[in-house]
Amino acid sequence: MGDVGLLLSGATLFLNSLMLFGKANEKSVGVFNLFIGALQVIIPFYLIVVSDQNHWTIFNLACIFLFGFTYLYVGVTTLKGLEGNGLGWYSLWVSIIAIVYAVVSVIHFHDMINALTWVMWAYLWFLFFLSMALNKKMDAYIGKVAFVQSWVTLTIPALLSLTGVWKIDFVAQVWFYVLILSIVYFCISAIRLKVSLNSRGKNTDVQVNS
């Protein structure tokens, strides 16, 4: 599935970010999640069955299921109006697996760009855990993270790879710094969110005491 799968994941995450911003209808986005989720479960399953069964081949294909089942879970949860805590706990599990993929990318494949990408995905899944399982009110922040990641970790890398320029050293170097800057942006935005929440909490205490 490769680059095409990344491109489709980029589209799905882009729509999910707009849903979190309240810009896209939940049920409409949920249908798209189901469609892409089904593709990213059926196709990797077939590729594993017909593969050489080498453990690294299966390792690389298995990660597609993490996205596929996430999208299916989001789609069903959204369309059926289910409680999101199950999806939240599943997201925590996926975020842990994503860290494993990041570590393997560094130690075995010596690929820092892929490692940083997995770290960013792990962070996003962890945010879904905080929001859905622990009921943290941060949809706007998660929407920002999802929007940025839909482009810098999925859509643009997929397009660069499809056009044959992803492996060029200059492109790889530029993209390394793009990922670093994105992570810095996430950190700054998280600090601002924390400060904003603390300020609201203090104002609420003042109103209650007065």
**Residue appearing with tokens 């189901």:** 34
What pLDDT is attached to residue 200? Answer: 73
**pLDDT band at 203, cuts 50/70/90?**
low
Domain containing 117 — which CATH number?
1.25.40.600
Amino acid at 79: L
Q: Residues 140-167: what's their mean pLDDT?
A: 97
167 vs 175: CA distance, rounded Å: 11
80 vs 27: CA distance, rounded Å: 9
Q: Are 130 and 138 contacting, i.e. CB atoms less than 8 angstroms apart?
A: yes
What pLDDT is attached to residue 196? Answer: 85
Stated pTM of the model = 0.94
What pLDDT is attached to residue 198? Answer: 82
What's the total number of domains in the chain?
1
Task: For residue 30, count other CB atoms closer than 10 A to its CB.
Answer: 22
110 vs 57: CA distance, rounded Å: 17
pLDDT tens, 77-128? 999 999 999 999 999 999 999 999 999 999 999 999 999 999 999 999 999 9
Q: Are 178 and 152 contacting, i.e. CB atoms less than 8 angstroms apart?
A: yes
**pLDDT band at 197, cuts 50/70/90?**
confident
31 vs 140: CA distance, rounded Å: 22
Identify the domain containing residue 58 by its residue range: 2-209
Q: Are 12 and 153 contacting, i.e. CB atoms less than 8 angstroms apart?
A: no
Q: Residues 9-32: what's their mean pLDDT?
A: 97
Amino acid at 91: S
What pLDDT is attached to residue 27? Answer: 96
pLDDT over threshold 50, residue 206: no
pLDDT over threshold 70, residue 210: no
- Sequence-distant (≥ 6) Cβ neighbours of residue 51 within 8 angstroms: 57, 58, 61
129 vs 106: CA distance, rounded Å: 25
For 123, how many CA atoms within 13 A lie in the half-sphere containing its CB?
A: 21
pLDDT tens, 38-86? 999 999 999 999 999 999 999 999 999 999 999 999 999 999 999 999 9
Q: What sign for the dihedral angle of Cα 161, 167, 170, 173?
A: positive
100 vs 80: CA distance, rounded Å: 32
pLDDT over threshold 80, residue 185: yes
Q: Residues 130-138: what's their mean pLDDT?
A: 95
**pLDDT band at 207, cuts 50/70/90?**
low
Q: What is the mean pLDDT of the chain?
A: 94
Task: For residue 17, count other CB atoms closer than 10 A to its CB.
Answer: 23
* Distance set, CA 91 to CA 160, 165, 170, 200 (Å): 28, 32, 34, 28
- Sequence-distant (≥ 6) Cβ neighbours of residue 75 within 8 angstroms: 30, 31, 32, 33, 34, 37
